[in-house]
Amino acid sequence: MKFNKHYIIFTLFASLLAFSCNDSYLDALPETQISKENFFRTEEDLNLYILNLYNYSSSGIYEADATTDNASTTGNNEIKNMMNSTPSSTTITGGWDWEQLRKVNFFLENFKNADLPEATLNHYEGLARYFRARFYVAKVNRYSDVPWIDVVITTDNEELLMAPRDKRELVVEKILEDFEFASQNVRETSSSGSLNQWVVKTEFARFALHEGTFRRYHEELGLQSTATTFLEKAAQLSQGIIDSKNFSIYSTGKPLEDYGTLFFSQNLDNNKEVIMARNYENEVLNGSNWPGMFGNYEYYPLKDLVQAYLMNDGTFYTAQANYQTKSFVDEFKNRDPRIYQSYAYPGWNLIYTSTYTQGGGIYVQQLAKNFSGYHQIKGFLNTLDIAAQYGTDVPLYRYAEVLLILAEAKAELGTLTQDDLDKTINILRDRAGMPHMSLNQATDPIQAAKYPNVNGAQKNLILEIRRERRVELAFEGFRFNDLMRWKAGKLLEKNPEGIYFSGLGKHDLTGDGIADIILLPASETIPEAKETNELGVALRYYRVGTFGQDVSVFLKNGNQGTVQVIEDTGSFIEPKYYYRPIPQSETFLNPNLNQIFDWN
């Protein structure tokens, strides 16, 4: 059975942590209660506590690209709200939560009460310090400068309660120390779905790449001269994972299936690409079968990502004549096979129809106001099998990311070789049946225009590695952080667009040459008696127009153009919006917490 105990909710920690907040309560605890004096005794105790620190996302990773140039949402979203308002510390109030850190520090102050071998204690210390590093990575990414706290704060510790922000450099140095200890002391092997040294090293490499590129491209920090150290660390860590030969890219020689199989597997335990998965099992711990990522329910993919996928001969899609005005059917012809395992393509068969009101069968876009017309199938559980819906594992850490980290870090350092490409990017392309990338990579002017701040000896390679990363990790929650670390926030100002329609009238959306829908002008009404196509199927009618008109779908030019979803995306203010303010309620409590980067 793939399920393991660390996904049970351990209610005993509620009492343990509650009493840890005030030591005076411990003196009065009945012997049947859990306290730090009678809990941290065995390895089982330590393991149980560490499992309570697990805070990984689950199937929600597939919608974490919302409000990037990969996908958007009609729902509430912090960056979307910021770009369309005048944000301040009174309106941005999330993120300043320190409960997880207190849990970690409480463990680190008490775990050595267990009479265990040094190597065992070091393993558990490493796990806790990994979670502390992970906690602070999120805080640094959000606020840059934050107080570094490595003890449990009590109510009488005024110095720490009133602590100011520590500089990013100091906090990052501490993060590195925690990651380093964890990477050297956490055990290499673990039970299914549990942390081990390879997970630690993968996240360490992820952080090193993030910090290195963030420092390189964000001159407002004044830390550009220190970027190389982090990029070298990212390369060293990812190379070490590769050299271990513990992992490999999942491939059975089926380029139209293998990539997608990773995201619709009942058991990833023996998949050598998966460094760690979120395990689910029907009627033991149910996964999410929510189909909102496919139906028109807040979330939707975008054309910009569609245009990023290469042609299947390795050439740029955007190098084709009139690529901007290709129909839905034509833009999916002869593409990188990963697009057919990420987007619902013409002729795809829909089975699980929960939020898709038009029913199952060969997929026909369900157009709706404020949605793009594209639908996502990566991670979408397209089955009526309840056991499969509730028992599908989610890959949280993939070896593919490790390969991408090494390639990007070396390209940023200007040291990438053809051998490096063949051992990283080209392995991913082999799985997809795509041509290899070479050192003499041509420049895509569209890609170059997206990232005008990229320079260096291997600029072209950096640009194409960014494309490869975007395509390989699409809809897995990486895109927003990537745009932030590359200082590419201005890309969020581009209006999100959907599929293109050449004009009013009938359109084929399934690729069989037979019309499926008919577009009417705003001035006409949809008839009660619907025309049928050659198959005897009633056409689906939509009234189209522009923002402000009472229509079903907005088109860029009214009667033709790309589907429009937002009238105004707002403005991304640099460098301010790469960071967040400390909530005003917290600065009232602690006046030593000053705002930075023009926040108030």
User: Mind listing the pLDDT tens digit for each residue in 111-165?
Assistant: 999 999 999 999 999 999 999 999 999 999 999 999 999 999 999 999 999 999 9
- For the chain, domain boundaries: 503-559
Residue 247's nearest CA partner among 188, 288, 329, 191 is 188
Residue 53's nearest CA partner among 102, 88, 20, 97 is 102
Mean pLDDT for the chain overall: 93
* 103, two tokens: 């849990």
87 upstream amide cis, omega within 30 of 0: no
Residues in the chain: 600
Q: Are 576 and 143 in contact (CB under 8 A)?
A: no
Mean pLDDT of 240-262: 98
Mean pLDDT of 345-360: 91
How far is the C-alpha of 183 from the C-alpha of 239, rounded, in Å?
14
- 26-70 pLDDT per residue, tens: 333 344 456 788 899 999 999 999 999 999 987 678 888 999 999
Looking at residue 18, its pLDDT comes to 46
* 374, two tokens: 């594209």
User: What is the SS3 string spanning 180-237?
Assistant: HHHHHHCCCCCCCCCCCHHHHHHHHHHHHHHHHHHHHHCHHHCCHHHHHHHHHHHHHH
How far is the C-alpha of 411 from the C-alpha of 457, rounded, in Å?
8
Contacts 24+ apart (CB under 8 A), 170-175: 171/136, 171/139, 171/140, 171/145, 171/146, 172/140, 172/211, 174/136, 174/148, 174/150, 175/133, 175/136, 175/137, 175/140, 175/207
List, in order, residues 6 or more apart from 257 with CB less than 8 Å away: 341
Has residue 554 got a pLDDT over 70?
yes
Q: Which helix (H) or strand (E) holds 14?
A: helix 12-20
Has residue 21 got a pLDDT over 70?
no
Helix then strand then coil, in percent of the chain rounded to 5, is 40, 10, 50
The number of CA neighbours under 13 Å toward the Cβ of 411 is 28
Output the pTM of the full model.
0.94
- 400-427 pLDDT per residue, tens: 999 999 999 999 999 999 999 999 999 9
Has residue 284 got a pLDDT over 90?
no
